């Protein structure tokens, strides 16, 4: 059944699809009247709907009912990612989405080689495509990049996350093993994980995060590339606290 994300209100009765998405259904997938679709609102709700008419690239569908199964992880996992060059950042967004993160916050750090990307729109599209492909019912929120140190200031829009979530910052030079950190993370439903850019975090940045309650964590004795580290951290978090493995 074709699946598509549409910003519909909660429990709609009829759905109208226009523009690019209608074109995709009618011309690319060649959907016909009577066919069923799964409509995802991107916030975790999904509905089964039947196409009742296709007129001039406008599709109308009647909602048959809400789909109750959820493919979302029981943990709210937020990835803070030091900006990476071009395709590496896109890879992290795609893989992090498949692995079930709920938010990605790209950050500019002292050693970031990339500072201003103008790529947020493209990243959001990648996240939407990866959500659809992986059968997720929600699309992770991709924030605009911000300076790493600014996220900790009291008036930062991210400050509320730090109050309700446990944070782990991954540092290749020292840190607790995730398994060991588990006791203090036991029962935690929200987790923030921070991975540096290609050049890693500076000592000063690690200190700021520690001062704000982050645990400094290690991924073992091998130094991983930033994109490998991000994927490993998310998979391990879902294994230890979420729904993988
Ligand atoms: N420039 C550094 C490596 C940075 S690796 C050097 O060459 O020494 C990029 C990011 O991946 C780091 O900021 C860290 O968040 C993460 N990372 C890679 N290997 C890691 C490890 N063994 N333990 C914890 N974090 C690691």
For position 145, which CATH number holds?
3.40.1280.10
pLDDT digit string (tens) for 8-36?
Answer: 998 899 999 999 999 999 999 999 999 99
Ligand 1 lined by 220 (C-beta under 6 Å)? yes
Q: How many helices (H) and strands (E) does the chain have?
A: 7, 13
Instruction: Tell how far the Cα of 4 is from the centroid of ligand 1, in angstroms.
Output: 37
Instruction: Show which of 27, 45, 67 is a domain's final residue.
Output: 67
84 and 148 together in one domain: yes
90 and 185 together in one domain: yes
Which pLDDT score, from 0 to 100, does residue 179 have? 80
61 and 103 together in one domain: no
151-160, Cβ contacts within 8 angstroms, sequence gap of 24 or more: 151/80, 151/105, 151/107, 152/208, 152/209, 152/211, 152/212, 158/105
Cβ contact 61:15 at 8 Å = yes
Ligand 1 lined by 148 (C-beta under 6 Å)? no
234 and 138 together in one domain: yes
**Number of structural domains the chain divides into:** 2
CATH of the domain at 24: 2.40.240.20
21 and 101 together in one domain: no
Instruction: Tell how far the Cα of 25 is from the centroid of ligand 1, in angstroms.
Output: 43
Ligand 1 lined by 218 (C-beta under 6 Å)? yes
Using DSSP, state whether 162 is helix, strand or coil.
helix
Full-model pTM: 0.90
57 and 169 together in one domain: no
134 and 233 together in one domain: yes
82 and 196 together in one domain: yes
Structural domain range at position 56: 3-67
46 and 94 together in one domain: no
63 and 81 together in one domain: no
pLDDT digit string (tens) for 147-169?
Answer: 999 998 878 888 777 777 789 99
104 and 201 together in one domain: yes
114 and 194 together in one domain: yes
- pLDDT above 80: residue 116: no
Q: For the ranges 62-66, 197-201, 237-241, which has the lowest average pLDDT?
A: 237-241
């Amino acid at each position: 059944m074709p699946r598509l994300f549409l910003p519909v209100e909660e429990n709609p009765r009829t759905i109208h699809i226009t523009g690019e998405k209608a074109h995709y259904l009618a011309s690319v997938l060649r959907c016909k009247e009577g066919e069923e679709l799964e409509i995802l609102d991107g916030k975790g709700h999904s509905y089964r709907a039947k196409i009742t008419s296709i007129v001039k690239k406008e599709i109308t569908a009647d909602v048959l009912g809400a789909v109750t199964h959820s493919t979302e992880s029981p943990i709210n996992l937020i990835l803070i990612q030091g900006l990476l060059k071009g395709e590496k950042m896109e890879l992290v967004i795609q893989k992090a989405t498949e692995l079930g993160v709920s938010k990605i916050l790209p950050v500019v750090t002292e050693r970031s080689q990339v500072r201003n990307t103008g790529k947020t729109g493209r990243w959001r599209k990648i996240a939407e495509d990866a959500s659809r492909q992986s059968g997720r019912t929600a699309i992770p929120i991709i924030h605009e990049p911000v300076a790493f140190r600014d996220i900790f200031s009291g008036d930062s829009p991210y400050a509320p996350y730090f109050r309700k979530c446990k944070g782990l910052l991954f540092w290749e030079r020292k840190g607790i093993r995730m398994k060991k950190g588990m006791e203090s993370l036991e029962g935690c439903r929200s987790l923030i994980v921070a991975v540096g850019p290609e050049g890693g975090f500076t000592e000063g940045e690690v200190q700021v995060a520690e001062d704000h309650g982050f645990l400094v964590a290690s991924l073992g004795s091998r130094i991983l590339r930033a994109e490998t580290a991000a994927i490993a951290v998310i998979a391990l978090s879902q294994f230890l606290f979420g729904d993988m493995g």
